[in-house]
Amino acid sequence: MAIAKAERLMNLALCLLGTRRPLSKRELRESIEAYLEAGSDDSFNRMFERDKDDLRELGLVIETVENLDGETGYLARRDSNRLPPITLDAEEAAALGLAAKVWQQARLAGAASGALQKLRAAGLPEDVDPYGPHGALEPRIPVHEAAFEPLMLACRDRRPVVFDYRKANAAQPEQRHVEPWALECWRGHWYLAGWDRGRGAERVFRLSRITGKVRSRSGRFSVPVPDVVTVRETVAGWAGETADRSARIRLRSDAGYPLRARATAVRELGDGWDELEIPYGHGLDAWLVEFGPDVVVLEPAELRADVVDRLRAVAKG
């Protein structure tokens, strides 16, 4: 289901559940932003009827009544749409408690804490340790970038943004005008996927390369938001996850642990250096540059040349 439609259905359901009297189509149209933007009355009526049918298919009991003004009204009584009591076994309660405790930073920390309290009220046993039998593992999703929170809100509210972005091979940042779609964490780094207006194409941005403040812009998105945003697959392609070739590099013995995790072979060279074979694909040169003097590319020659070019571009800045 498209995100915009899901939000519209949620808003309609909340209106119908939150009212104490039947609401007319006119009142619902004035209360829900998506309906105000529907255009003509015919467009709104078709959209509303489809949404009402979809909510009923999802199980929401919607009553149709005649109000005092002779208009047809709609409401969803809470007693007719009340969920049965929630019962959780120990494993289910622990899994939900663990999910609620993952977030420790940004605004989601408060929401996660409130969710955990509701889980306990709904049946999460006090003696269940969400971190496992020994309590030694405390999962976290790190959020160190200042750009995370404004981008998270922009994705939620569907607001275009502007920020300065420095590519791995660039000496200076460039301004980007982006319609943000989704944020995703991959291998300890946060990435934003969205529509880059300046380039007229979908792009993925690493948050740690955003410099300065993220600034919101008014107006609507110019392209539809995809139902599925493949952030991880795009970044994996950059890092050579889908590669069918191997690169040979030298790496300092006490550095480059993410590279070591990817290595298919490791050989000690002595003098504080190791030799690694790692998968080679598009974007590997940008990743290797991040390790600076701790990495020396041995082969293939084109990868070595790409890394040297990127380092020279950075040095000129």
Burial class of residue 301 (count of CB atoms within 10 Å of its CB; 0-12, 13-18, 19+): exposed
- Condensed to tens digits (0 to 9), the pLDDT of residues 233-247 reads 776 665 545 566 889
Compare 72 and 237 and report the one with higher pLDDT. Answer: 72
Q: Does residue 56 have a pLDDT over 70? A: yes
Tokens standing for 223?
């392209």
- Of the pLDDT bands very low, low, confident and very high (cuts 50, 70, 90), residue 1 is very low
Tens digits of residue pLDDT in 120-171: 555 555 554 544 444 444 555 556 778 888 998 898 888 999 999 987 666 7
Burial of 85 (C-beta count, 10 Å sphere; 0-12/13-18/19+): exposed
* Pairing outcome for strands 161-165 and 295-299: unpaired
Q: Which of 162, 154, 158 is nearest to 221 (CA)?
A: 158
The tokens for 144 are 């160190």
CATH classification for the domain delimited by 148-231, as one of 3.50.50, 1.10.3470, 2.30.30, 3.30.450: 2.30.30
The candidate with the shortest Cα–Cα distance to 262, out of 272, 274, 273, 276, is 276
Q: What is the mean pLDDT of residues 281-287?
A: 73
Is 63 in contact with 77 (CB distance < 8 Å)? yes
pLDDT confidence of 261, banded at 50, 70, 90?
A: confident
Question: Which of the four pLDDT bands, split at 50, 70 and 90, describes residue 103?
Answer: low
Q: Judge contact between 100 and 119, C-beta under 8 A.
A: yes
Higher pLDDT residue, 255 or 310? 255
At 227 the pLDDT is 78
pLDDT, residue 280, reads: 80
Q: Can you give the pTM of this predicted structure?
A: 0.47
Q: At what angle do helices 41-57 and 3-18 cross, to 10 degrees?
A: 80
CATH number of 3-80: 1.10.10.10
Residue pair 303/297 in contact (Cβ under 8 Å)? The answer is: yes
Ranges of each domain in the chain = 3-80, 84-141, 148-231, 245-316
Report, as an integer, the average pLDDT of 272-290.
Answer: 83
Nearest one of 139, 123, 121, 142 to 131, comparing CA atoms: 139
Give the Cα separation of 161 and 198 in Å (integer). Answer: 12
